[in-house]
Amino acid sequence: MSNNLVIDNLHISVEGQPIIKGLNLAVKQGEIHALMGPNGSGKSTLANALMGHPFYEVDSGEVTFDGEDILGLEPNERARLGLFLAFQYPTAVPGVSMANFLRMAVSAVRAENSNGGETTELIPMREFRRELRDKMKRLGIDESFARRYLNDGFSGGEKKRAEVLQLAMLEPKIAILDETDSGLDIDAVRIVGESVSQLIGSELGVLIITHYPRLLNYIRPEFVHILLDGKIVESGGWELAQLLEDEGYDPIREKYGIAPL
């Protein structure tokens, strides 16, 4: 059975304010989906809630992963099942190298019995270094990158490449990419897009969350969904992304009677 992320009639609020208002979506392992919507439509709220961020309150609805209800699970438990979130604004962690962070994260995700704490048995250093070098070479990342502190002093593009490296090392079944193109120039978008494309295959399903179609030129989705006012109002193929590129969101707002934010 493939690993499916299924969202059924999901309602999410932030500090009592409804943001997601009955969202339905299914992403299968091996599929590429794009969720597009203007700023304020609820895209990042959905991404963070799916990964278990406590700031976002799930009021009702269901989210299952491979048939298992994940709403009651902690973020590390969701990660161990095979769910991954690349953040829109990755946090800097001075004093913690990329390599040490990745070794801890990979060990916690792969361990048969792990609470995500200090008791997690680390994978052997030689094995980890070999795998890390292989992944960095595949992604065209210099080995010195692993010795730098996590996102500390990184440019926008470097932060997003660090997220892609985490994706490569953790090998999730479903990856949620929350506005990975945010704050990047054209060249950085191309580099990140091409890097993600190298990782996509039958074992990885991807939900790309964005409001600009430019990243989708490098990661071509099979399915495109438009999110407005907390709901998916239209779903289709690549033609929907092209429509947004040509006309923007206003015609769709008018079609469904949704006022601009």
User: What architecture is the 5-188+207-255 domain classified under in CATH?
Assistant: 3-Layer(aba) Sandwich (3.40)
Q: Beta strands 32-36 and 17-28: pairing type?
A: unpaired
The pTM of this model reads 0.93
Q: Give the tens place of pLDDT for each residue, 159-182.
A: 999 999 999 999 999 999 999 888
Residue 1 pLDDT > 50, yes or no?
no
Dist CA 217 CA 213 (whole Å): 7
For the segment 214-220, the average pLDDT, to the nearest whole number, is 90
Q: How many residues does the chain have?
A: 261
Question: How far is Cα 70 from Cα 78, in angstroms, rounded to an integer?
Answer: 7
C-alpha separations of 115 from 9, 70, 77, 86, 108 in Å: 30, 16, 8, 21, 8
**In the structure encoding, which two tokens stand for residue 217, read together?**
């030129």
Which range, of 31-45, 72-86, 117-131, 150-164, averages the lowest pLDDT?
Answer: 117-131
CB-based contact 203:197 (threshold 8 Å): no
Cβ(66)–Cβ(33) below 8 Å: no
- Lookup result for tokens 């299952």: 64
Average pLDDT over residues 30-43: 94
Tokens of 124: 């052997």
Assigned token pair, 22: 């009955």
Q: What's phi and psi for 54, nearest 5 deg?
A: -70, -15
Q: Which two tokens stand for residue 105?
A: 């994260």
Domain range list for the chain = 5-188+207-255
Between the CA of residue 114 and those of 26, 82, 235, what are the distances in Å? 28, 14, 39
Beta bridge partners, 97, equal: 149
Cα–Cα distance, 218 to 201 (Å, whole number): 15
